[in-house]
Amino acid sequence: MSADGLLLVLVFALCGAGALAGVFVPERHHPTLLAWFGSLAALAALWLSADELRSGHVFTAELWRLGTLATLSVSFDHLSGLFLLVAAVVVLASSVFSKSYLCRYLGHHSLKAFTAWYLLLFASIVLILIADDAVLFLLAWETMSITSYLLVTFENQRDDSSRAAFLMLAMGEAGFMAVLVAFLILGAAAGSVDFSALRTGAANLAPAARWLIFLLTFFGFGVKAGLVPLNSWLPRAHPAAPANVSAILSAVILNLGIYGIVRFNLDLAPFNAVGAGVIVLIVGTTSALVGILYATTENDLKAMLAHSSIENIGIVTAGLGAGLLFEAYGRSVLSGIAFIAAFYHMTNHSAYKALLFLGAGTVDDRAGTRDLNRLGGLIRVLPWTAGAVLIGALSIAALPPFNGFVSEWLTLQALLRSAELSSIPVKILFALCGAGLALTAALAVTCFVKMFAMGFLGVSRSTGAANAVEARATSIVPMLCLAVLCLLLGILPTYVIPALGHTLQPWVGTGSDALVPPFFNASAGHATLPPAFVADFHDIGAQMGQHALPGRGLVVMHRGGAANPVIFAMSTSYMLPVLAGLLLLTYLIVRRWLTRARRKARRERWDGGLRRLLPEMTYTATGFSNPVRVIFDAIFRPTTVEDTSRTVAEHFQLAIRRERQTVHIVDRLLLQPLRNCVVNLARGLAMMHRGHINAYSAYVLIAVLLALTAGLVVIALGR
């Protein structure tokens, strides 16, 4: 057996051994048990994926035959390696975090069951990514769905956990059935369910069958990815799960939906129709905008992050849609750039969203609440957590030099290249979607400024927030490692983009070469750059570090023609020292010069004549996001469910109570009308059940007459 095969066996062996050992180990040792086995399995998967991506070797193996039905087999290619690498990093951080976090459940819930489901979930994720036939893929997918359900409903004493888990399972099963039908259609054309046979058989599909498979897989996998309008489960399930599970759900499970869409529509049954790209681009942009609107107005920390996951997966999907459109118009370089931006953003989202969910779990554990209106001042009592969450907030808000900025900037730049297309309607669509994503980016800054300011700055607005104590090292270290990863992914794009280009070579073409010109002399292809082009950018530092650093350069740049040699360019590698220098200069000017001659005196702050400023008098998260509610009131459409007041002598009001409830736009426009139709149909059918024998006899007679009429019509047409 090869080294890759041994590592793969080791991953499954560690997951199985950990789940089995949990049966015999006392409950109090389960946090340590899960941390060790989960971390070791994640490290083995990390090693496996990194080795595959580095060597480029595709590992394949047959497991066993299921009679004449199928041969269960596994294959580990570049696409599997990328998704497994991301999953392993997140599971590693979540497993270490579990060491101290799970102690809160001792004596309240069964950690033996939690350990088994957690490790089985990771094993099913690995199996999904390496499955090389439809049967194994669907079995692994169903296992992943069931174990996710069991982990979300872990705190089964809470009604919201059970309802959220059931909704997630029900919608996931609907998506599963759609994918199953797509596999059956493709398998019937190929005569087999092996992925290699499916790739061959896809060439013989009729256009109608291709469209049907695309729609079934895009929306079937879109349920798991949380795309609008199939996202109702996500903002309910993620907040209900424990924080370490929420991190995996958002940073790994959502990626599996993207993996399914890509694996099916770019690999097994490629579909390059313009209409398909239009659908993907519109759904992605809509998901991004709707997700960030609800995230901005949400006050529950985990619910805010869940809505934000919809936004980020929407950005990824929009990048995929742009890539499909460029590919349909024969613009392979632009298609490659869009695909790289999409996969880059998916990787970035996994890093900072796992960090933020672990941070939210720490806040909930230490302060006893996730309500931003009851937090505040946590930076003084949770300094390490606050520092890590700040980096996560800056990353997800797409501020340089962190990773979110690079991938969102690349996505917007890719959309702007629609100017090279010939179709006016498609150009208009790109312009509208680009404006929607730009608005999404602006609202993301508002959202996460609110999150950090209301949660970690200002005064404490509850006793739990004021008395919080910093978490233990096993909780802090994984968050700090993820924070460092967010920074590295941000300042080293010229290393990440070629790696993504190499990994996704069958789909992205020459996109990475078009983005990172070989400015360093040691790089292959440096000699192909025009001397005048190199000379022009030598003076602004494009070749800085060429004698000390490996790689192609430190500038991300899309080259044009002679008239316009640079279409767009950026370097977060240079931004880091410049921003650090500006911050240091600002500090020196303010602290060492402007305030040097001033005498300092510490006294009580002036609070408008009040003896003490109460927490209830401070600015709240609700007030911060209220302008967004007002501006986008047509989308939120809140309804007043209670409006009462207490008065004295019918004139002087003592108290006013007004409670407003917001129904999600997807529920209001799609699910509620569907529900009303079903209820009205059921009521109409119920009218038939009157209990009169004469009515039932009439129904039978009418049915017989209709059947006879239909038969006569068929006979007449046959003649």
Please confirm whether the linkage preceding 401 is cis (ω < 30° from 0). Answer: yes
Q: 3-state DSSP: the chain helix, strand, coil percent, rounded to 5?
A: 70, 5, 20
Going by pLDDT thresholds of 50, 70 and 90, the confidence category of residue 710 is confident
Residue 593, pLDDT above cutoff 60: yes
Which amino acid, one-letter code, is at 128? I
Q: Which of 282-291, 531-540, 671-680 has the lowest mean pLDDT?
A: 531-540
Per-residue pLDDT, 357: 95
> For the packed helices 78-101 and 493-503, what is the interaxial angle rounded to 10 degrees?
120
Kindly report which listed range (246-260, 654-668, 673-687) carries the lowest average pLDDT score.
Answer: 654-668
DSSP per residue, 173-197: HHHHHHHHHHHHHHHHHHTS-BHHH
Instruction: Quickly count helices (H) and strands (E) in the chain.
Output: 30, 6
Angle at 317 between CA 314 and CA 322, to 5 degrees: 125
What's the average model confidence in pLDDT over 399-405? 92
* Distance between CA atoms of residues 360 and 340, nearest Å: 30
Q: Which residue has the higher pLDDT, 108 or 421?
A: 421
The arithmetic mean of pLDDT across residues 588-611, rounded, is: 70
The set of residues, in sequence order, having a beta carbon less than 8 Å from that of 87 and lying 6+ positions away, is 45, 122, 125, 126, 129, 252, 255, 350
- In the structure encoding, which two tokens stand for residue 49, read together? 């994926």
470-521 pLDDT tens trace: 889 999 999 999 999 999 999 999 999 988 988 887 776 666 778 888 888 7
pLDDT for 50-83, tens place per residue? 888 888 777 788 877 776 667 788 888 889 999 9
Query: How many whole angstroms from its chain centre is CA 56?
Result: 27
Arithmetic mean of pLDDT over the chain: 86
| Bond into 235 cis (ω within 30) | no
More confident residue, 406 or 548: 406
On the question of pLDDT at 640 being above 60, the answer is no
Task: State percent of the chain over pLDDT 70.
Answer: 91
Indicate whether this model's pTM tops 0.95. no
State the average pLDDT over residues 688-707.
78
pLDDT confidence band for 342 (50 / 70 / 90): very high
Kindly indicate the confidence band of residue 43, based on its pLDDT and cuts at 50, 70 and 90: very high
Query: Shortest CA distance to 226 belongs to which of 74, 349, 377?
Result: 349
Is residue 307 predicted with pLDDT exceeding 90? Answer: yes
State mean pLDDT over 642-666: 61
Q: What is the radius of gyration, based on Cα positions, of the chain?
A: 28
% residues pLDDT > 90 (the chain): 43
**pLDDT tens per residue, range 516-553:** 888 887 777 777 778 777 777 777 777 787 778 888 88
Contact criterion met (CB below 8 Å) for 311 and 442: no
- Give backbone dihedrals phi and psi of 659, rounded to 5 degrees, phi first: -115, 125
**Which has the higher per-residue pLDDT, 524 or 403?**
403
The pLDDT, as a whole number, for residue 117 is: 93
Q: Is the pLDDT of residue 350 over 80?
A: yes
SS3 25: coil
Reported as a single tens digit per residue, the pLDDT across 198-223 is 888 888 888 888 999 999 999 999 99
pLDDT of 10 over the 80 cut: yes
Residue type, 433: C
pLDDT at residue number 119: 94
How does residue 644 score in pLDDT terms, banded at 50, 70 and 90?
low
pLDDT band for position 252 (cuts 50, 70, 90): very high
Quote the CA–CA distance of 670 and 665 in Å, as a whole number.
8
Q: What is the pLDDT of residue 58?
A: 77
For the chain, the domains span: 1-190+197-202, 640-684
Burial class (CB in 10 A: 0-12, 13-18, 19+), 414: buried
pLDDT of residue 514: 81
Residue 232 near residue 171, CB atoms below 8 Å: yes
Q: Note the pLDDT of residue 688.
A: 67
pLDDT at 638 exceeding the cut of 70 = no
pLDDT number for residue 606 = 64
Q: What is the pLDDT of residue 205?
A: 86
Question: Average pLDDT for residues 138-154, to the nearest whole number?
Answer: 93
- pLDDT for 64 equals 79
Q: Count the Cβ atoms, other than its own, within 10 Å of residue 642.
A: 9
What pLDDT digit, counting tens, does each position of 79-97 carry? Answer: 999 999 999 999 999 999 9
Residue 641 pLDDT more than 80? no
Q: Is the pLDDT of residue 607 over 70?
A: no
SS3 242: coil
* Residue 686 buriedness (CB in 10 A; 0-12 / 13-18 / 19+): exposed
